Amino acid sequence: MIAGLRGNISHFIAGAVILDTGSVFYEVQIPLTVMEVLSRKKKDEKIELFIYHYFSQNDERLYGFLDPVSRELFREMIALNGVGPVLALSLLSHLSMENFIEIAEGRNAEILEKIPRVGKKTAEVLLFEIKRSKNKFLKIISIAEQKKEMPVVTSGDDLVIEALLQLGYREASIKKALEQIPTEIDNTADRIRQALRFL
């Protein structure tokens, strides 16, 4: 199961980026918002994507996001009745975190009908499903808000943080530990080992 990828942008195709990781080229489906950010990157600039590895009976695809919160929103969306990866990606391309809050709380629901692939009937189903899972969406979004208030650490540390969260450590403690690690230690595995010394 692929959880994240780091590499250089080879080129873009419709709705996806081809990522060169050094020995393998991966096709990663991305929202328009991610494509806008990546299109401004330099050719030789390393990027990191948080990956949702999707399997179905007849298909296998990689979906990429700039942060783990967006990936979790995608994960929750495709768990909703009637929402597949294509529709979920379209929603993430057009809705902000604030939009999700408004929709979950029954406000600004008409914004759904303005999204491509979403007609009135689909919008009604989506509204019902999002409101039904309101607490899950609000929890994910609240995590995103908390991240904005946390101290900034090395951009490459997102994968380190996610790995340590999986081990059961608290995010605030992890970020304090990372602040004590020299920036010249830039290998993910080495930074995890160093962080564990301070946890």
pLDDT band (50, 70, 90) for residue 176: confident
Residue 62 has pLDDT above 90, yes or no: yes
Same domain? 55 vs 72? no
CA pair distance 18, 7, nearest whole angstrom = 10
C-beta neighbour count of 91 within 10 angstroms:
24
Say which CATH number the domain at 95 has.
1.10.150.20
Same domain? 60 vs 99? no
* Main-chain phi, psi angles of 183, to 5 degrees: -65, -25
pLDDT band (50, 70, 90) for residue 147: low
Could you read off the pLDDT of 68-119 as tens digits, one per residue? 888 988 998 898 888 899 889 988 888 877 787 788 777 777 888 888 778 8
Average pLDDT in the chain: 83
Same domain? 72 vs 139? yes
Residue 64 has pLDDT above 80, yes or no: yes
Number of domains in the chain: 3
How far does Cα 26 stand from its chain's mean position?
Answer: 17
Same domain? 111 vs 177? no
Range of the domain at 12: 4-65
Same domain? 136 vs 155? no
Last residue of a domain, one of 26, 42, 65: 65
Same domain? 54 vs 88? no
Q: So what's the pLDDT on residue 149?
A: 45
Residue 50 has pLDDT above 80, yes or no: yes
Residue 151 has pLDDT above 50, yes or no: no
H or E element that contains 25: strand 25-29
Same domain? 61 vs 85? no
Say which CATH number the domain at 54 has.
2.40.50.140
What mean pLDDT do residues 152-174 have? 71
Same domain? 137 vs 78? yes
Q: Which residue has the higher pLDDT, 138 or 18?
A: 18
pTM: 0.68
Same domain? 15 vs 50? yes
How many helices and strands in the chain, by DSSP H and E?
A: 9, 5
**Portion of the chain with pLDDT greater than 70, in percent:** 91
